Amino acid sequence: MLYERPRRARAVLAVLLAASIVVITIDFRQRQGGPVDRLQRVAIAVFGPLQQGASAVVRPIGNLVGGVAEIGSLRSENRRLRTEVAGLRARERTYLDVLGENERLRGALRMARRCGCRTVGASVVARSGSNFQLSVTIDAGARQGVARDMAVVDAGGLVGRVTQVTADYATVLLVTDPTSGVAATLASGKAPGILKGRGEELLQFQPVRAGTAPRLGDSVVTRGYQGGVFPAGLPVGVVERVDPAGAASLVPRVDVRPYAALGTLDVVAVVVDRPPPSAPTPQPGKGR
């Protein structure tokens, strides 16, 4: 019985092969419109819609399988592109920061040149952490020609003066420090006075002449004199508030807002050399 099954299988296979050869031969010899041709047409008419429907069902499944296979590569590509974009944005920010710093330094150097001074550029590397002193540390010192009591400016105006110096660093006392005092004058009326720091954003201008009448918006500049710390003509700030003189004082109280960006200092210029203050013009009939 075990040997009969392989014989039957071989016999069935032989019959099927013979039938296939006969059908192929008949189809080859059959004229168009014959029985076989009509049978083929019927089969196509019956099974064609079924094949089309099956393809419509199978095709999305195939696309889904292909899409799932590509998700991994798409995610990897997305991560690579995100990293590349982040790098480009970081380089752009760095480039813009460098451009901005360069422009601010140029502005500070131009500010000092207004008085014909020679300057050294420097960056602010630290700010005072003490409540008793408002100062910054800059990366320029004795090696760069910086010394005590030199004026320091930024692109807006006067920042302060150098109080301590090492080989490569210096401490700058800001004009807003309570111990700071600057000989100044109102640019409009040439009224002299003293600018005092109060540990706040605003400075106080104290006129030295009775009858001085400061106005809102008046510009305040440094006043040069023999032995003075600051060159003449450097912008310091603008008058923001004026309280008229009262019974207790012969001069008004004047608040001045500094031009320099003292809260966000990053680059400054130190005035390492300046022209001597001009000698006062002799008055006719006074002296020789």
Higher pLDDT, 190 or 242: 242
pLDDT at 143 > cutoff 50: yes
Higher pLDDT, 144 or 118: 144
**In the chain, which segments carry CATH 2.40.10.340?**
118-273
Cα–Cα distances (Å) from 137 to 101, 127, 161, in that order, read 17, 6, 11
Report d(CA 203, CA 252) in Å as an integer. Answer: 14
User: Is this prediction's pTM over 0.75?
Assistant: no
* pLDDT greater than 80 at residue 130: no
Round to whole Å and give the CA distance between 190 and 194: 13
| Distance separating alpha carbons of residues 152 and 171, to the nearest angstrom | 10
Share of the chain above pLDDT 70, in %: 57
Give yes or no for residue 31 having a pLDDT over 60.
no
Model confidence pLDDT, tens digit, residues 62-121: 555 555 557 767 777 777 777 777 777 766 666 555 555 566 666 666 666 666 778 888
Q: Is 60 exceeded by the pLDDT of residue 187?
A: yes
Write the DSSP assignment of 241-264 as a string of letters: EEE---TT-SS-EEEEEESS-GGG
What is the CATH superfamily name and number for domain 118-273?
A: Rod shape-determining protein MreC, domain 1 (2.40.10.340)
Are the beta carbons of 259 and 138 closer than 8 angstroms?
no
**CA separation (Å) from 90 to 83, 93, 97, 193, 207?**
11, 5, 10, 48, 50
Residue 211 pLDDT level (bands cut at 50, 70, 90) = confident
